[in-house]
Structure 1
Amino acid sequence: MSRPTIGIFGVGRIGIMHARLLAPYADLVVADPRPECAALAQELGATIRDTGELLASTDLDGIVITTPTDTHADMICEAVKLGVPIFCEKPVALDIASTQRANAAAKAAGVPVQIGFQRHFDAAYTQARERLAAGEIGELRRVHMGTLDQAPAPREFLAASGGIYTDCLIHDFDALRWVTGREVTEVYAVGTDLGQADFADFGDVAETAVILTLQDNVYATAHSSRYNGAGYDVRMELHGTRGTDFVGLDEHFPVTSVEPGATYPQGEPWTDFILRFKDAYERELLAFLEIVAGTASVTATIDDAVASLEIAAACALSRTEHRPVKLSEIRVGD
């Protein structure tokens, strides 16, 4: 296969970024009713079809789904009928049942589906995973991680996002499983909406902290904020019996050291996730093209999406009911 033909459903912020990253390597066909679609198609030399036409196309080698979250599961169930590999942004759905429905449809059709957990393709997260597996930091004893936004997203986005655990920390939950190779068994979460309607109206929070119990009784902590004014802060600390690895401790780390004479860090802080993970986004789409070409397999699956969403649901229940929640309460069939 020389240049595959990739259909892209949805050209919002993420869809536009993905289309631009794919354009040097693939012929694109895009579907989106918004005016941005025509402008993007002209910029990239892409073809425009409406959604129905694209779902009935016979010339596609792969599909990218970046439509609103509440459409992902149905889109996957329809798109698998084309029999070509699918890339879908996270989350697959805001509820576990819909995610499992999409998973079952993909498996029944024998169609590989890659989920947009881009941290699987980030150089630092990858090295942390490899070093832990190789015993470089000894036996894992504790993990600390977090994703902190510089400022909240618009109210209309927050209304449909599914909340801070499903929208934001789900990346940390996925990375925790992927990097450590361990499953979460129990969570305890607290959070506050700060009395602000943009969060309170949707049962969401602006600040949260979570304790997660992993297999082998390893503890992890996670925190998230919508008001980290210093910059976009994503980190993961892995503490072992021989050493500690830290993802996110670079020149863009959005902190100020008050130690006398300290000058670190000196770089400009990241302001959003697109800047921070630009290289990872490109790697994950190149990996998808390898899946399309039949030379690679999926590493971030819908099974991973289900597992991460279960953790998010457990956190939401824990915060609401002010108690620890075992994942067995959430997992269907446990």
Structure 2
Amino acid sequence: MRIGILGLGRIGTFHAETLAALDAVGSLVVADPFANAAKAAAERFGAEVADSPEAVLASGVDGVVIAAATDAHPALILAAVEAGVPVFCEKPVARTMAEGLEVLQGVAGRGVPVQIGFNRRFDAGFTAARDAVLSGELGRLHTVRAVTLDPAPPPAAYIAASGGIFRDCAVHDFDVIRWVTGREVSEVYAVGGNRGADFIREAGDADTTGAVLTLDDGTVAVVSNSRHNARGYDVRLELHGFADSVAVGLEDRLPLRSVEPGATFPAGVPHDFFMDRFTAAYRAELTAFTEVVAGVRPSPCTVEDALEAGWIAEACTLSLREHRPVPLAEVRRG
């Protein structure tokens, strides 16, 4: 099949490399506002270059991958759907929830699949954890713990445009908690602070946060996030039930050092970046998209799914600002 890629920055180039290696993909068509980026990708991956997103959509592509800046996501998603081209778009759907709802309305009933990029749904560990929940082997859940710790903050310009740590970072934890447990979040309480880079504080954001999510069945989920983890990129999930407990990320490349006498775990080289940690998940995610394009499976992460995680991020942002619990119903009314 023929796949278009809109945006050839860090993640767009990574997606181009992944797609070029998939047996299902025969050719790539790329476009980027910076002509040199598109040219470099074309030379590296044997892709064709188009001079605009419109040209990509008109080039006979079977599907399109959107890896452009967040502000461009709504218009590009809607343009692809209008052209009848299946879409994969990196999260978030839009910069604001209001814009996201406009996208949801614009794609509803059009019959064109849209897949939003939440790669943890395709990681082997998270998939096994979900299977353990769905099979009932853990019994009824009572506690969930999720962790995402970055090795270092992104650049100041990225932070300023990110929408905040809950919308940019923790939203992955929020999505995977919903997906793994099969439950919705009813209320949140969030705290946070700044322990490092001044530019994060100046942007009105926090660099270290904690959030307690109450799920609709009473399960308590605790989410911990930070932009500062000197040992590496740490992503984990614990699920504790009345019959058993399991953990995702408890492996030899876990960036955590035990101080127990005689302990040798973890013994591997720590993960140092999200592309390192989730290389296989990204490949599985884009393989799934080729199956969506081929019409053999529905979108595994819809616009509506992505907005559900976004509402949790909105509630946490409000909770942190106002120092109080926030029911999800409150932000949904907004």
**TM-score when scaled to structure 2?**
0.96
Q: CA deviation at 1:135?
A: 1.2
Q: State how far apart, in whole Å, the 1-side matches of 2:193 and 2:184 are.
A: 27
Residue from 19, 22, 32 that aligns with 2:19? 22
Q: Deviations over 1:88-124 (max 9, x none)?
A: 0001112111111111211242211001001111001
Q: 87-96 or 53-62: which moved more?
A: 53-62
Q: Which has the larger displacement, 49-58 or 18-27?
A: 49-58
Q: Secondary structure at the residue paired with 1:142?
A: strand
Determine helix, strand or coil for the equivalent of 2:217. helix
In structure 2, what is the equivalent of residue 285 of structure 1?
286
CA distance in 1, matches of 2:54, 2:297: 29
Aligned-partner Cα distance in 2 for 1:260–1:24: 45
On the 8 A contact 1:99/1:305 being kept in 2, the answer is no
- Name the % identity: 49
Quick check: 2:147–2:173 contact (8 Å CA) kept in 1? yes
Q: Which moved more, 1:37-46 or 1:274-283?
A: 37-46
> Aligned letter for 1:329?
E
Partner of 1:192: 193
- Taking the aligned partners of 2:320 and 2:52, their CA distance within structure 1 comes to 39
The code of the aligned residue for 2:5 comes to I
Whether the 8 Å CA contact 1:7–1:54 is kept in 2: the answer is no
Match of 1:8 in 2: 5
Check 1:139–1:265 CA distance in 2 against 1; reply closer, same or farther (3 A cut): same
3-state SS of 2:332 partner:
coil
Q: Which runs of 5+ in 1 are unaligned?
A: none
Judging changes above 3 Å, is the alpha-carbon distance between structure 1 residues 195 and 172 closer, same or farther for their aligned structure 2 residues?
Answer: closer
Q: Residue 259 of structure 1 corresponds to which residue in structure 2?
A: 260
Confirm or deny: 8 A CA contact 1:149 1:231 kept in the other structure: yes
Answer yes or no: is 1:95 the counterpart of 2:96. yes
Q: Structure 1 residue 24: deviation in Å? A: 2.8
Note the residue ranges of structure 2 that are not aligned, 5 or more in a row: none
> 2-side partners of 1:251 and 1:332: how far apart?
45
The one-letter code sitting in structure 2 at the alignment partner of 1:306 is: L
CA–CA distance in structure 2, aligned partners of residues 52 and 329 of structure 1: 37
Please identify, of 264-273 and 26-35, the stretch whose mean Cα deviation from structure 2 is larger: 26-35
Instruction: Give, in whole Å, the separation in 1 of the partners of 2:273 and 2:249.
Output: 14
Aligned equivalents of 1:269 and 1:332: distance in 2?
43
Distance 1:93 1:52, change over 3 A: closer
Matches within 5 A, 1:1-334: 4-25=1-22, 26=25, 27-34=27-34, 35-54=36-55, 56-194=57-195, 196-332=197-333
Structure 1 residues 287 and 58: CA distance shift in structure 2, 3 A: same
| Preserved contact between residue 196 and residue 207 of structure 2 (Cα < 8 Å) | no
**Comparing 70-79 with 285-294, which one deviates more in the overlay?**
70-79
Alpha-carbon separation, structure 2, partners of 1:183 and 1:215: 6
How far did 1:196 drift?
4.1
Contact 2:31 2:56 (8 Å CA) reproduced: no
SS of corresponding position for 1:212? strand
Q: Distance in 2 between matches of 1:120 and 1:53?
A: 30
Aligned CA-pair RMSD: 1.3
C-alpha distance in 1 between matches for 2:283 and 2:159: 26
**How far has the Cα of 1:316 moved from its partner?**
0.3
Quote the Cα distance in structure 2 between the aligned partners of 1:238 and 1:24: 35
In 2, the alpha carbon distance for the partners of 1:14 and 1:108 equals 30
Q: 1:196 to 1:273 in 2, by over 3 A?
A: closer
Deviations 1:28-73 (A, max 9, x none): 0000032222111011110111225425505110010000111111
Secondary structure in 2 aligned to 1:229? coil
Q: CA deviation at 1:201?
A: 2.1
State the alpha-carbon separation in 2 of the partners of residues 176 and 52 from structure 1: 34
